[in-house]
A = this chain, B = another copy of it.
Amino acid sequence: MLDIRLATETDRDAIWNIFHAVVAPGDTYAFNPRISREDALAYWFRADTHTYVAEEDGRVVGTYILKANQPSHGSHVANAAFMVAPDVQGSGVGRRMAEHCLAEARQLGFRAMQFNFVVSTNEGAIRLWKQLGFKIVGTLPGAFRHPQKGYVDVYVMFRSLL
């Protein structure tokens, strides 16, 4: 049973453990792989950000954030980011969180969702976003320096929520 809910202060340790494990290899996100716990949690719990966790049998196994991608006249488009604990990746936690996120975004009144920086080598994520209705609407040539593969393209992905 996966329970997806808003994060609380008591989830901070679990979120940091997942965040650190996901960004340390430096192959999927542009976060500094050596980002501090303080900076990571400050970003994940910003005032303008909705922060969620996915809990399975009392253990937080994933987390995501949902926010406006731009302020003001761009604030009708949502942005989100997802992280899943490495040992449960591939088990559907990411998909469940994404479905939850799309429903939350609709409920909050967003008209669309955009991912600004999907690294093209992150094939599992791209496949999942496509299955959930996202399209690649932009390609940023060589915009990510992959630690093993060098400069690789990055996709901008988008889907309407109407």
Contact = CB atoms under 8 A, between A and B. Distances in A.
A70 B137 contact: no
Contacts of A31: 71-72
B141 A138 contact: no
Copies in the complex: 2
A4 interface: no
Given A30-B70, A33-B72, A74-B30, A114 B143 contact: yes
Contacts of A64: none
5 contacts: A31-B71, A32-B72, A74-B145, A77-B140, A138-B140
Interface of A: 26, 30-33, 69-77, 111-112, 114, 116-117, 137-147, 151, 154, 156, 158, 160
